[in-house]
Amino acid sequence: MSAQSQTLLELDGVETYYGAIQALKGISITVREGEIVTLIGANGAGKSTTLRSINGLNHPRKGTITFQGRDITHDPAHSIVKRGIAQSPEGRKLFPRMSVTENLEMGAFQRRDKAGLAEDMDRVFALFPRLAERRKQKAGTMSGGEQQMCAIGRALMARPKLLMLDEPSMGLAPQLVEEIFGIVQRLNTEQGVSILLAEQNANVALRYAHYGYILENGRVVMEGDAATLTTNEDVKEFYLGLESGGRKSYRNVKHYRRRKRWLA
Ligand SMILES: Nc1ncnc2c1ncn2[C@@H]1O[C@H](COP(=O)(O)OP(=O)(O)OP(=O)(O)O)[C@@H](O)[C@H]1O
Ligand SMILES: [Mg+2]
């Protein structure tokens, strides 16, 4: 990624609450045009809340969110989609009794042009041939991986400049995770869509992303190029489950959390 790439999205000191509970304690992140950026963190770190702050579902109480140079901090969700930010939510959230085609149409509900709609649907089907084969199938009867593809496809129907994905790898077999991430990568390189990706699976996220932020307790504790993060000893130990002796189980990783150097 060239250093001159333009900033697409910027969060500056974002603080977001659920009632009295402060979930984000000052998040600052940047996504540049053409980049895949990942937010890595364990359960409850604040990944989904960061995406919800951006997409207008839970507005920050403090801080600012800028998209293409425009302050969108307090814009309503529907106008944020219009500006070019679309999300495939955590847990997919498809309409289970509607067909694949109908679910995809829901992603384009703000548009009126029929020709454009058909064109976008063809583009989604070209990207996800498995969806094309199942266009009439009810979404709720598809496999987890197919549902994930459908959820991503639905977000693409809004023709986003920035696509946000919340844990696309969740519950999927490794081979399917690679297939989906491969498609996300093509979307990025061939169509220039920027990606903001929330993942617990740091291993796969850092292999596909250009840049990453590590979140803990509503704060960014580390950031850097994916390559740099991948070789960082703390990241290796706590997020990639690796240490000099080889693989380490997640259970053990959790056990050692207390020793994190950035908390010292
Ligand atoms: N609806 C809610 N009401 C109250 N607190 C919430 C709500 N949703 C999230 N939180 C809290 O906000 C914090 C951040 O949660 P968030 O869902 O953003 O984490 P996450 O990084 O996405 O975790 P996960 O990997 O489990 O999805 C957590 O402490 C969580 O308990
Ligand atoms: Mg989440």
169 CB within 6 A, ligand 1: no
What digits encode the pLDDT tens for the residues 104-146?
A: 998 886 666 778 888 999 999 999 999 999 999 999 999 999 9
Task: Looking at the CA of residue 50, tell me the nearest atom of ligand 1.
Answer: 18
Give the separation between CA 204 and CA 227, rounded to whole angstroms.
12
21 CB within 6 A, ligand 1: yes
Residues 6+ apart with CB under 8 A from 4: none
- pTM exceeding the 0.85 threshold for the entire prediction: yes
- Backbone angle region of 69, left / alpha / beta, with phi > 0 → left and psi within -120 to 50 → alpha: left
**Strand 162-166, strand 85-88: pairing:** parallel
- What is the reported pLDDT for 117? 87
Return the DSSP state at 224: E
- Of 248, 251, 225, 222, which Cα lies nearest the Cα of 237? 248
- What is the reported pLDDT for 160? 94
Starting from the CA of residue 200, give the closest ligand.
1
Domains for the chain: give ranges and CATH numbers. Answer: 7-84+160-231 (3.40.50.300), 90-159 (no CATH)
